[in-house]
Chains A and B, each alone.
Chain A
Amino acid sequence: MLDYTPKEITERKALNVNPAKTCQPIGAMYAALGINKCLPHSHGSQGCCSYHRMHLTRHFRDPIVASTSSFTEGACVFGGKSNLVKGIQNVFNIYNPDIIAVNTTCLSETIGDDVGEFIRDSKVPEGKRVIYANTPSYAGSHVTGFSNMCKSMVTQIAESTMGEGNNGKVNIMPGFVEPSDMKEIKRIAEEIGMDYTMYPDTSDVVNTPNTGKYDMYPEGGTSVEAIRESGDAMATVALGKYTSEEAAFKLEHKCKVAPYVLKVPLGIKATDAMIFKFIELTGKSVPKALEKERGQLVDLMVDVHHHYHGKKVAIFGDPDIVTAMTEFVIDLGMIPKYVLTGTPGKVFAKDIYHMLENAGIEGSSVKSEGDLFELHQWIKNEPVDLIIGNTYGKYIARAENIPLVRVGFPILDRVGHSYFPVVGYMGAMRLIEKISTAFLDKYDQECADEDFELVM
Chain B
Amino acid sequence: MPSEHVILDSRKSFIIEKGVAAGATIDCDKESLSGAVSQRACVYCGARVVLNPITDAVHIVHGPIGCASYTWDIRGSLSSDSEMYRNSFSTDLREKDIIFGGETKLAKAIEEVYSAYHPKIIFVYATCVVGVIGDDVDAVCKLAEQTYNLRVIPVKSPGFTGNKRTGYKMACMALMQLMGDEPHEEKIPYTINYLGDFNLAAEAWIIQKYLREMGIRVISTITGDASYSTLINAPKASYNVVQCAGSMTYLAKQMKKTYGIPFEKVRFLGVDETVKALRKIAYLVGDTKVIERTNALIEREMKKTHERLETYKKKVAGKKAAIYVGGGFKAIALIKQFRNLGMHVVVVGTQTGDSEEYAMIRRLTEDGTVILDDANPSELQKFAMDKQADLLVGGVKERPLAYKLGMAFIDHNHERKHALSGFEGAVNFAKEVDMTLNSPVWHYVKNKNKTI
Contacts and interface: CB of A to CB of B under 8 A. Distances in A.
Interface of A: 1-2, 4, 6, 10, 12-19, 21-26, 41, 44-55, 57-58, 60-73, 75-76, 82-84, 86-91, 93-95, 105-107, 110-111, 136-139, 141, 208, 210-214, 216, 342, 373, 392
B89 A50 contact: no
B381 A214 contact: yes
Contacts of B406: 210, 212-213
Contacts of B432: none
Given A4-B87, A10-B115, A17-B88, A137 B447 contact: no
In the complex, the 4 A-B pairs of residues with the closest C-beta atoms, listed nearest first? A47-B42, A23-B66, A90-B35, A87-B35
15 contacts: A14-B108, A18-B88, A23-B65, A45-B128, A45-B159, A46-B40, A47-B42, A57-B399, A67-B36, A72-B31, A90-B8, A94-B36, A107-B160, A212-B405, A212-B447
A54 B113 contact: no
Contacts of B104: 14
A308 B44 CA distance: 45
B424 interface: no
Interface of B: 1, 6, 8, 31-45, 60, 63-72, 83-84, 86-95, 97-98, 104-109, 111-113, 115-117, 128-129, 131-133, 159-163, 377-378, 381, 396-397, 399-401, 403-406, 445-449
Contacts of A52: 66, 70
Q: Determine which residue in A41, A49, A68 has the highest number of CB atoms from chain B within 10 A of its CB, and name it.
A: A68
A3 B39 CA distance: 34
Contacts of B111: 14
B38 A70 contact: yes
Contacts of B43: 47
A136 B445 CA distance: 41
A53 B117 CA distance: 33
Nearest to B115: A10
A73 B63 contact: no
A136 to B, nearest CB: 8
A294 B23 CA distance: 67
A180 B1 CA distance: 28
A342 B116 CA distance: 21
Contact of B87 (A17, A46, A70, A90): A17
A70 B37 contact: no
A89 B35 CA distance: 8
A22 B32 contact: no
Contacts of B161: 72-73
Contact of A214 (B40, B66, B401): B401
Given A107-B160, A141-B65, A15 B113 contact: yes
A138 B8 contact: no
Given A70-B38, A110-B132, A138-B93, A214 B68 contact: no
B249 to A, nearest CB: 22
B34 A2 contact: no
B159 A95 contact: no
A371 B111 CA distance: 18
Given A51-B70, A55-B70, A72-B31, 16 more contacts: A16-B88, A47-B41, A51-B66, A63-B377, A63-B400, A67-B38, A69-B34, A72-B161, A76-B131, A83-B34, A106-B63, A106-B64, A107-B129, A138-B95, A212-B447, A213-B447
Given A71-B160, A106-B63, A212-B446, A46 B8 contact: no
Contacts of A22: 65-66, 69-70
Contacts of B34: 68-70, 82-84, 86-87, 90
B98 A138 contact: yes
A50 B41 contact: yes
Contacts of A68: 32, 34-38
Contact of A6 (B44, B71, B116, B131): B116
Contacts of A6: 116
A107 B8 contact: no
A16 B160 CA distance: 24
A136 B99 CA distance: 13
A125 B381 CA distance: 26
Nearest to B73: A395
Nearest to B11: A94
Given A23-B65, A94-B8, A208 B404 contact: yes
Nearest to A218: B404
B6 A93 contact: yes
Contacts of B35: 41, 67-70, 86-91, 94
Given A10-B115, A76-B160, A107-B128, A210 B67 contact: no
Contacts of B67: 23, 47-48, 51
A385 B375 CA distance: 48
A210 B397 contact: no
A110 B377 contact: no
B132 A107 contact: yes
A106 B86 CA distance: 25
A4 B117 contact: yes
A137 B108 contact: no
B62 to A, nearest CB: 10
B173 to A, nearest CB: 18
Contacts of A4: 83-84, 87, 117
Q: Determine which residue in B32, B35, B400 has the highest number of CB atoms from chain A within 10 A of its CB, and name it.
A: B35
A46 B32 CA distance: 9
Given A94-B378, A111-B132, A139-B94, A210 B65 contact: no
Contacts of A53: 397
Nearest to B91: A14
A65 B86 CA distance: 28
A261 B6 CA distance: 45
A419 to B, nearest CB: 15
Contact of B42 (A13, A18, A48): A48
A15 B95 CA distance: 15
Q: Determine which residue in B36, B112, B160, B400 has the highest number of CB atoms from chain A within 10 A of its CB, and name it.
A: B160
A191 to B, nearest CB: 31
Given A50-B42, A61-B400, A211-B447, A72 B160 contact: yes
Q: Determine which residue in A46, A88, A211, A216 has the highest number of CB atoms from chain B within 10 A of its CB, and name it.
A: A46
A63 B65 contact: no
Given A10-B115, A14-B109, A23-B66, A46 B159 contact: yes
B378 to A, nearest CB: 7
A336 to B, nearest CB: 25
B83 A1 contact: yes
Contacts of B1: 213
Contacts of A41: 35
Contact of A26 (B42, B66, B88, B377): B66
A412 to B, nearest CB: 9
Contacts of B98: 110, 138
B37 A66 contact: yes
B65 A95 contact: no
Contacts of B70: 22, 51-52, 54-55
A110 B133 contact: yes
Contacts of B89: 15-17
Contacts of B115: 10
A95 B37 contact: yes
Contacts of A84: 34
Contact of B396 (A48, A54, A71, A342): A54
B378 A216 contact: yes
Contact of A10 (B68, B107, B116): B116
Contact of B449 (A60, A90, A91, A212): A212
B253 to A, nearest CB: 25
Nearest to A8: B116
B260 to A, nearest CB: 35
